[in-house]
Amino acid sequence: MGYAAIAAGHVAVITGGASGIGLAAALHVAGLGLRVVIADLGADRLETARGRIAAAGAADVWAVELDVADAAGFATLEAEVTRRWGGADVVMLNAGIGPASDITGPADVWHRILDVNLWGVINGAQAFLPGMLERGREGLIICTGSKQGITTPPGNPAYNVSKAGVKVFTEALEHDLRSREGARISAHLLIPGFVFTGLTVGVAEKPAAAWTAEQTVDFMMASLERGDFYILCPDNDVPRALDEKRILWAAGDIVENRPPLSRWHKDHAEAFKAHLKG
């Protein structure tokens, strides 16, 4: 349910739409004849993206500056989309940032990551969902998570916490939608692999292991057509089978009463290697 929302003349709203996966998604649906709204920061970036999306065949394009941490800004955006085009059919809550963090801070980095990555998703869903339900049409809400929100590797705990929150929120959202009588909207969790985007810090050229944003969106579209909730993307280095084993091991830390993040614990290194081989 919901895939029929991706149709010519319908409306797609995409946050983080001026670059990366968001821009690739906007270009893809533009080519299908949708009206496209991209919300992001940076007027110049937005205008460049708007021109590309228009050239890709969008029925109409609107580029708007929005800080996704601002719930009032989201409410204003939803009201304007409804005024212009009757409402949204597809909402992709994709905006994200990934500055470095550690357990002790910096506090402002923690707050900003959670405000953008997690509250940006919650704010967007809460702004657009009531109108989508009221219209009664098929619709999609796609939230961009991360494998780092599932296996939570060491290195950037604020980012991991934000993406773990996106996973939990999107699962709750889908449960809520499928439990509503007459609701024709479905939620989906996009879980990218290694993707070469603006978040690929310190890398000038696409690594061989990485997918492009366009490959990720192609995979997402095929998954949506199948009705998948968990859109678990591979890349050129990690196939799905390896992702599955890593995810199962992470869950096994609880079931087997291992130390947290035991995949990176010296006392469990050999057991993890054996798990991968098995």
- The partner residues of 61 in beta bridges, in order of sequence, read 36
Measured CA to CA, the distance from residue 181 to residue 216 in angstroms comes to 33
Report the relative pairing of strands 230-232 and 139-144 from DSSP bridges.
unpaired
| Length of the chain, in residues | 278
Reported as half-sphere exposure (CB side, CA atoms, 13 A), residue 141 has a value of 30
Report yes or no: 243 and 263 within 8 Å, Cβ to Cβ.
Answer: no
Measured CA to CA, the distance from residue 75 to residue 242 in angstroms comes to 41
Annotation marks residue 3 as catalytic: no
Q: Which of the following is catalytic: 74, 128, 159, 196?
A: 159
Report yes or no: 174 and 186 within 8 Å, Cβ to Cβ.
Answer: yes
Measured CA to CA, the distance from residue 156 to residue 209 in angstroms comes to 21
What is the 8-class DSSP label of residue 10? -
Structure tokens at 69: 């941490």
Please list the active-site residues: 159
